[in-house]
Every structure is written in structure tokens, then in C-alpha cells.
Structure 1
Amino acid sequence: MIQTLAKPQTTADVPKLGLVCITTSPEVRFKTMTRKRLLQLDEAAQTEALRSLYGENLRRLNLAITFCEDHQIQLYRLISSLFPFSDTALGDRILAEFGEALRQVGDRAQTTGLRLVLHPDQFVVLNSDKPAVIANSITILSAQARWFDLMGLPQSPWAAMNIHGGKGDRAERLIQVIGDLPDQVRSRLTLENDEHTYSTAALLDICQATRVPLVFDAHHHLVHERLDSYDHPSVGQMLAAARTTWPEPTWQLVHISNGREALHDPRHSDLIAAMPTSYRQAPWIEVEAKHKEVAIAQLRQTWLRQAA
């Protein structure tokens, strides 16, 4: 049964707005390396290249934490390419060298009250028709869960690893694969509705079957259902239904974006011009806008100020 939302939150409980990966300014950026480039190097050079890259991205992650602290941002989504190739034996070995530094980063984030989450890339598909794709997806998720383990982050959806439902009409396969995931992955896994394949209602059934939290995305819901407003009754209803899938309701995480050129445009706009009224009761909101921290500042000056 779909639940109705409770009374609006008090000023002390207004939603916390999260930064996604990088900033519009150059303050938060990360280095990367293509597989082609890595494979051009001999083994010794690959080792040194990854060691340098991991060390530099750790330094930049510390800068990201500083940025969030300076701007009173309490939620940060790590970039999924933070430690590229850590799903290989070489990458995993080098990552282990940074174990102490990673623990310090995790401790610092928790000390400053910064919640760290992750959105693995779209090629992570747990219900593919191809067993090799599923196996590779699990390898990637396991490597990224190791980042969180080395940081000392909890094995719970507080440190969410969020993915989409994947292939359509494969709900049973998705449920089965999730049930067999390694504990360090499954304990952090969340699922997000998308604009084309898995509706919020369909994913809600999967989340209830797997006991995996649902990350509700209002824009994806709007596009999928061809709604005419973020304040359509089903937005608030699905927000409330998604909340029931979280083991701790105050951990509930949602996403917001607007269409770039039209209401149902799946591409993200620069800023957030329209927010669901029901989102005033969402504890944690990732702001998926092209202008990143600028969009967060604008929402604080307009939408959050109105909420207060």
C-alpha cells in the first residue's frame, strides 16, 4: 500500500544537498588514464603510472573533502573512475599500498560529517543476457566496495553504491544476482529508477524482494510516466514508498535534475528550476545539475530558504 507523507520537516531537518563528483570551478577535479594508454606501458611503467595516479587522486579527494567542508556540503558522490583499474590484480595491489592514506580519508570524512556515496558506471549491469557482463560487473562493484572498506566506511546503504536496474524484463535475474553478491557489495547496494526501463513501481517490487533501498529520482519518474509536473501526486507517493525500503528512514537518498531543454528531456539542465514540493521531506538529495556547486548554492538561496 502506498503511504502518504508525514508533516513537513522542521528547519533543523531541512534536506542536505549533495555534490556530484566534480565542481564547475576547477577546485575539484581528478586525473584518469585510458586502458589503451596503460597497455602501451611495460609492467614496471604500469605500476609507477597507477601508483602516481592513485596518490594524486587521493590528494585531490582530500581537496574535495575540504571543498565540501568549506561550503557546508554534507554529501559527496565519489567519481567512479577515482582509482581506475583497481578491479585488476595490479590495481588492487597498488591500492593496498595506500591503505593507511585511504583510512585517513575515510576518518576525515566521517569526522567532518561528510557522507560518501558512489554511482558506478552504466556498464555495470547485473542482469545482462551475457554471463561475462554480469561477472565483470560484480568484479567492478567488488573493487569499488574495497575502496569503501579501506576507507573504513560502513557496510550499509549509508555508504551507498547506487546502480540502475539494467536490462528490461529481467527482474528475476536481477533479484537472483543481487542475492548472490559479496556481502561488502550487497550491504551497500541501492537501486535507482530510470526514465526508460524500470519504473519506480517496478523497481520498488525488486527492492522489497531483495531488501535493497530504492534511490528515487523524481526527474526519471517524471519522464518515464510522462507527468506534467514534479508535484504530480505520484511523486510524493513514490518518495514515501521508497522511504520504506531504507533500513533507516533518515538515510533516504534521492536525486533531482531538470530537463535541459524541455520538461521530459533526459539531459540535465545547468541549474534546478523546479523542485518537487514533497522533496522538502527528503533527508538527502544529490543535485544532478551541470553547474554543480552553483546549483546547490542557488537552491539554498531559493528553495531551502523558502522551506525554512
Structure 2
Amino acid sequence: MTIVRLGYVAMSVHLKNCSPSQTMTYRQFSSIKDREAAILKLERIAISNLQNCLRLLKHNVANSIHFFRFSSKLIPLANHEELRDWRYMRPLKEALREIGDYLKEHPMRVDFHPDHFVLLNTPNVDTLNMSVKTLAMHEALLKGMSVNTEHRCVLHVGGAYEDKEKAMELFIENWGVIPHKLQKMVILENDDTSFTLEDTLYLCEKLGIPLVFDYHHHLANFQNDRWLESWERVVNTWAHSPLPIKMHISSPRSDKEYRAHADLIDPIMFLGFLNEIKGTVPEIHCMIEAKQKDEALFQLGDDLEAAGLERIDQGSFRMK
């Protein structure tokens, strides 16, 4: 038997005026002559983003959704080089505490997927330093919510830099200088252009990092299409994690735009995956990456129930 829990990314198409990613460009910031007033505006935006996160969590609880990815754009300009003196966590303390209190009352798996510019295999020292700063910001946000930071940040391996083998070895080299508390946050995902399931497994097994299997990415980028032969190894990367194994599910927008995400999830594609791994793990958390966000989750849930899966609640199923 395997319990399947569905999650979605960052925002809802059902809640109005609830974006957690409201932003401000540096050009807009610098156009405000009073710097203190500009910083206060940034802080108001960040607090509004966090308040909208709380609304989203309440929406999830009302709909029995137990898995959610926070936006990584909660704090505009957080690590901009011209705002190095901005202590942005101080004004967010109360908003973060409110989220933490709600999560204690209504436990839910939450995590982040930092943007593509977080590159741990970069040969550029400045880029690596900025990547570490960005991970530290995510750690501070999780701690402000009183969320255990272990295995909460999904990353891609990074750039191939025209030499994939060298890029993988550079990831290992750079990993050695990443603070341990940030290493513990990281989980790695196979991508759709450069680093395959086999590549990512190599790094995860060597460095003790859990692997997030992205099924769509694998179908777009593989060396060996027999992914099930590696499934036990994927599961074993989670052996020492306090969290259940996690995977990503999305569907191609079209044959011509195969790598792009569709609005919804193809239930036949997803059921093909679930039927292969049924019984191999007690529980799996499946993050839906679709343009229609929570609507994609609701539709997929109905499709799975129609296909005969036992529905536990809106976002959970039991496969026997």
C-alpha cells in the first residue's frame, strides 16, 4: 500500500488578490528619493506577501491539501548588492511567527525551490557567494516560521558549462565549502536539459543528498529510459530524511513544446508512474508543477478518484 499526497506551487488560481510574489524592481526602488521610505515600501510588500502565504495555507487546510511550495520571491531585492545594509528579517518577524503558529496547529509539508540563479556548481566565486546568501535567506525564513529546515530546498545541479563531467565534479568541490546547516536544506532534482536521473543520482549518493525525481524532466532528458531500474536507488537517498520521498509531476504543453508545463496534469501519464511505484514506498509526496496551480490539483484528484484510487481527502489517496 502507498499513500499519495498531492501538492502545488506557490499561489492559487481560486484566491483573488493573494499573490505571495508581489515585487519591486531596483529601478522603482531607486526612483524613491527618500531611501528610508523606499525600504519601508519594500518591507510592506514583503509583509503583504507573507500575509498572502498565510491565506494560502488556510485555503490548503480548508481543502485538505497537505503539501505546499512557498514562493521564493517573498522578499523583493533581499540580496541586492545595493541593499546590503538592509536587515530585512527584523520587520518580518511577526508575519513569519503567525505562519509558524498556524503550521503548528495545522501541520503541512512546506518547502522552497530557489530560482535558477542559485548555482552550486558555478566556477564563478561571486555567483557561488550569492547562491549561498540566497540559501541562507531561505533558511532564515524557515526558521522564522519554526519549520525544521532539513531537506526543504529543491535545487537543480546547475549549469553544464559545455563539460558536464567537469561541472559535476565542480558541484562536489563547491559542496565542500557550503555551510553544513545549508547543506542539510538541499535536495536535488534531475533537470530537462543537462543533468539526467543517472547524473543526479551519482551526486546524491556520493554526497548524501535526497533526490527529487521529476518524471516529466526524465522523459525529456534521459540516457536510459528504464527509470524504474533506478527507483530503489532514488528511494534509498531518502533513507535518512525525516520527510517522505518527494517527486515532481508535470505534463508537456504539446509535442512541439515538450519541456514546457501544461495547464493541467495528464492523469494517464501520472497513473503510469504511480502504478509502477505502488507498494515500493509507504508514502510519496507529489508536487504538481502546472500553470493552473491548485485547480490542476483539484482536477487531478477527481481524475485519480475516477480511475479507481481510494480517496482519503481532497489531496490524498491510498493505492493498494
TM-score, with length taken from structure 1: 0.87
Q: 1:18, 1:75 within 8 Å by CA — same for their partners in 2? A: yes
> CA deviation digits over 1:106-141, x for unaligned, max 9?
231232121110000011111113221111111111
Among 212, 217, 234, the residue aligned to 2:214: 217
- Identify the residue that residue 298 of structure 2 maps to in structure 1: 297
1:173–1:70: structure 2 CA closer, same or farther, 3 Å change rule? same
> CA deviation digits over 1:162-219, x for unaligned, max 9?
1101122211111122232123321110110001110111110101111111111001
By how many angstroms is 1:34 displaced?
1.5
2:139 maps to 1:149: no
Among 242, 263, 266, the residue aligned to 1:270: 263
Give secondary structure in 1 for the equivalent of 2:253. coil
Among 237, 247, 260, the residue aligned to 2:229: 237
Q: Which amino acid aligns with 2:169?
A: E
RMSD in angstroms over aligned alpha carbons?
A: 2.2
Unaligned runs of 5+ in 2: 311-320
Q: Larger relative CO (CA 8 A, sep 6+): 1 or 2?
A: 2
2:96 maps to 1:102: yes
Q: Higher mean Cα deviation, 190-199 or 45-54?
A: 45-54
1:25–1:226: structure 2 CA closer, same or farther, 3 Å change rule? farther
By how many angstroms is 1:251 displaced?
1.7
Among 6, 24, 29, the residue aligned to 1:33: 24
Task: Measure, in 2, the Cα distance between the counterparts of 1:293 and 1:144.
Answer: 23
Give secondary structure in 1 for the equivalent of 2:221. helix
| Structure with a larger share of its residues in helix | 1
Unaligned runs of 5+ in 1: 1-7
Among 193, 196, 221, the residue aligned to 2:193: 196
> CA deviation digits over 1:58-115, x for unaligned, max 9?
2111101111111111111011101122335668523222223312312312321211
2:244 maps to 1:254: no
Task: Measure, in 1, the Cα distance between the counterparts of 2:75 and 2:150.
Answer: 21
By how many angstroms is 1:304 displaced?
4.7
- Identify the residue that residue 12 of structure 2 maps to in structure 1: 23
- Identify the residue that residue 70 of structure 1 maps to in structure 2: 62
Q: 1:84, 1:91 within 8 Å by CA — same for their partners in 2? A: no
Task: Measure, in 1, the Cα distance between the counterparts of 2:13 and 2:227.
Answer: 29
Task: Measure, in 1, the Cα distance between the counterparts of 2:256 and 2:122.
Answer: 31
TM-score, with length taken from structure 2: 0.84
Q: 1:222, 1:264 within 8 Å by CA — same for their partners in 2? A: no
| Number of residue pairs matched by the alignment | 290
Give secondary structure in 2 for the equivalent of 1:93. coil
2:284 maps to 1:283: yes
Task: Measure, in 2, the Cα distance between the counterparts of 1:78 and 1:209.
Answer: 28
1:211–1:34: structure 2 CA closer, same or farther, 3 Å change rule? same
1:113–1:237: structure 2 CA closer, same or farther, 3 Å change rule? farther
1:293–1:118: structure 2 CA closer, same or farther, 3 Å change rule? same
Q: 2:245, 2:285 within 8 Å by CA — same for their partners in 1? A: yes
Task: Measure, in 1, the Cα distance between the counterparts of 2:242 and 2:46.
Answer: 35
Q: Higher mean Cα deviation, 185-194 or 264-273?
A: 264-273
1:128–1:304: structure 2 CA closer, same or farther, 3 Å change rule? farther
What's the % identity of the aligned pairs?
Answer: 25
Q: Which amino acid aligns with 1:115?
A: R
